[in-house]
Amino acid sequence: MNLVLPLRRGIIFIVSAPSGAGKTTLSRAAVREIGGLTPSVSLTTRRPRNGEVEGIDYRFVSEEDFQRRVDAGQLAEWARVFDACYGTPRQPLDEAIREGRDMLLDIDVQGARSLTARYPDDTVTIFVLPPSFEELEERLRGRGTESEQAIAGRLKRARDEFRAYPQYDYLIVNADLADSLRQLDAIVKAERLRVARLREEIAPWKS
Amino acid sequence: MNLVLPLRRGIIFIVSAPSGAGKTTLSRAAVREIGGLTPSVSLTTRRPRNGEVEGIDYRFVSEEDFQRRVDAGQLAEWARVFDACYGTPRQPLDEAIREGRDMLLDIDVQGARSLTARYPDDTVTIFVLPPSFEELEERLRGRGTESEQAIAGRLKRARDEFRAYPQYDYLIVNADLADSLRQLDAIVKAERLRVARLREEIAPWKS
C-alpha cells in the first residue's frame, strides 16, 4: 500500500509590517511566485488610490454596505484606520481551511491579532521589517501620494506597530525583495509539512 | 542606523525515522547541501560496520568508557538498543545553542524524546517516513548487512517507531531524496526566522 498523502487543513498566512516596509510588494510577489496561495481581498470604505482595481486590490464598498456586513457577522475582522474601514470576509477563510487550501493576507497588526484569536491553529504570522527607519521614511515619501502630515502619521504608526513583532511567529527583514521572497517561500513550504496540520491519522502500511 | 541582524539561539534539528526510511542518507545530504548545520557525532559501544569511520559516523567507545561518561553527566541522552549503547554528547549541543550555531541530529524516537525534554525551546523535530512498508522492507534487505532475524527485528521496531510521528513538529515522506532535501531545507530556513529564537530585543531605529 502506498502512502496516500494525508489531507491537511488549509493555512492562513498573515503578513504584517509597519507602513512602507514593502509588505504589499512582497505579498503580491509571493502569490505570483510561491504557488498555492490565494490572496484575500479586503473590503474597504476608502476611495481607490491611483491604479487600484476593484476586486483585486480591494472591494470598495459604501459605509452602509460595510456596516451591514459587520452586523451580519460576515467579517472575520475589521477596523477603522484613519477615516476609513477595512475588513476581511470570513467565508473565503473558513472554506480555505476546510478544503486544505492556503491563503495569504496582507493585514495590519490589529487585524492579525483578531485573526489569530479567531483561528488560533490555522494562522501563521509573519512580520516584515524595513532594514532601517531612514529607508522606511524614504519609501513613504517615494510614493508621492500623500501629504507631509499623512506621512508623519504613518511614521508614528509604524513605530507603534513595530513593537508588535514579538507576537508574530516569523520575522523577515526586507532589505532585498528576492531574499525576502525566498524566506517567505521557506516559511510556506515548511508550515505545509507540520504534523499539527494533518487532519487524520496517516498509515504507510496496514498490518 | 542600520539593523544589525539580531543574535538568535542555535537550533538543534532532530531527524528521526523508522529504520530504513532513509534518514541517514537524508541527514548527510542536508549537512552537505543546506549549510550551517553541524552533525552531532554519537558515541556507541557497538562495533563499526563496513565503511564506518571513527569520529565521522560514530565515536566507537568501550562499555566502560561509555558508562564513565554517563556517570559524569556528559551525555544529553543515551539508550541501549539491541545489545549496544548509543549516546549524544552534551557539550557540543550546549555550545551550539549558546553560540547561535545549528546542529543536525540523526536519532531514534526515544533519543528525540529525551532531547526535546532537555531542550524544549531549542529543538525542532522532523519525522521521516518511507513511502510504503514494502519499500522499507526492500531497503532493509538491500543493505545486505544483516541477518533475516535482524531484519525482522528492525521491521517490528519500525512499526512501533512509526506510531511516534504525532509527537514530531514536521513530517517528510521520503519518496525522492532531492524532494525530501528541499523540504528539509525549507524547514531549516524557516525555523531560523522564528521570532521566538531571538535572543534580544531588536530595534531598526532609535528614536
pLDDT at res. A1: 41
Report yes or no on B40 lying in a domain.
yes
What is the pairing mode between strands B170-173 and B75-81? unpaired
Q: Cell 531484519 belongs to which residue?
A: B151
Number of structural domains in chain A:
1
pLDDT at B60 over 60: yes
Q: Which residue of B has its CA nearest to A186?
A: B186
Report yes or no on A157 lying in a domain.
yes
CATH of the domain at A87: 3.40.50.300
Percent of chain B with pLDDT over 90: 61
pLDDT at A145 over 90: no
Q: Which residue of B has its CA nearest to A156?
A: B207
Q: How many CA atoms lie within 13 A of B94 on its CB side?
A: 8
What is the pairing mode between strands A84-89 and A43-44? antiparallel
Q: Cell 529543538 belongs to which residue?
A: B123
Q: Quick one: DSSP state of residue B117?
A: H
- The gap from C-alpha B192 to its chain's centroid, in whole angstroms, comes to 17
**First vs last Cα of chain B: how many Å apart?**
10
- Residue A24: pLDDT band with limits 50, 70, 90: confident
> Using CB atoms and an 8 Å cut-off, which of residues 169-188 of chain B contact chain A?
169-173, 182-183, 185-187
Report yes or no on A144 lying in a domain.
yes
Q: Kindly list the residues from chain A whose CB atom is less than 8 angstroms away from the CB atom of residue B168.
A: 195
Report yes or no on A173 lying in a domain.
yes
Say whether B133 and A189 touch across the interface (CB within 8 A): no
Report yes or no on A75 lying in a domain.
yes
Spatial CB neighbours of A30, under 8 Å, sequence gap ≥ 6: A15, A37, A104, A181, A184, A185, A188
Report yes or no on A35 lying in a domain.
yes
Pairwise CA distance, residues A135 & B182, whole Å = 33
Report yes or no on B45 lying in a domain.
yes
Helix (H, G, I), strand (E, B) or coil at A81: strand
Pairwise CA distance, residues B141 & B8, whole Å = 43
Helix (H) or strand (E) holding B90: helix B90-99
Which of A132, A193, A196 is opposite residue B3, by nearest beta carbon? Answer: A132
pLDDT at res. B120: 96
C-alpha cell at A154: 504613518
B2 and chain A in contact, CB less than 8 A: yes
Give the residue from A60, A30, A28 showing the smallest Cα distance to A45: A60
**Residues B171 and A198: beta-carbon distance below 8 Å:** yes
Higher pLDDT, B68 or B207: B68
Give the residue from A176, A185, A174 showing the smallest Cα distance to A35: A185
Report CA-CA distances (Å) from A150 to A19, A135, A159: 11, 17, 14
Helix (H, G, I), strand (E, B) or coil at B151: helix
pLDDT at B83 over 80: yes
Domain containing B18 equals 12-194
Say whether A195 and B165 touch across the interface (CB within 8 A): yes
Report yes or no on A58 lying in a domain.
yes
What is the average per-residue pLDDT within B175-179?
93
Spatial CB neighbours of B197, under 8 Å, sequence gap ≥ 6: B8, B9, B11, B122, B191
What is the average per-residue pLDDT within B43-66?
94
**Residues B199 and B8: beta-carbon distance below 8 Å:** yes
Q: Kindly list the residues from chain B whose CB atom is less than 8 angstroms away from the CB atom of residue A2.
A: 131-132
Give A186→chain B minimum CA distance, Å.
4
What pLDDT, in 10s, does the model give residues A49-108? 999 999 988 999 999 999 999 999 999 999 988 889 999 999 999 999 998 999 999 998
**Residues B99 and B89: beta-carbon distance below 8 Å:** no
Q: Cell 487524520 belongs to which residue?
A: A200
Pairwise CA distance, residues A85 & A67, whole Å = 9
**Residues B137 and A167: beta-carbon distance below 8 Å:** no
Q: Cell 498490518 belongs to which residue?
A: A207
Pairwise CA distance, residues B207 & B205, whole Å = 6
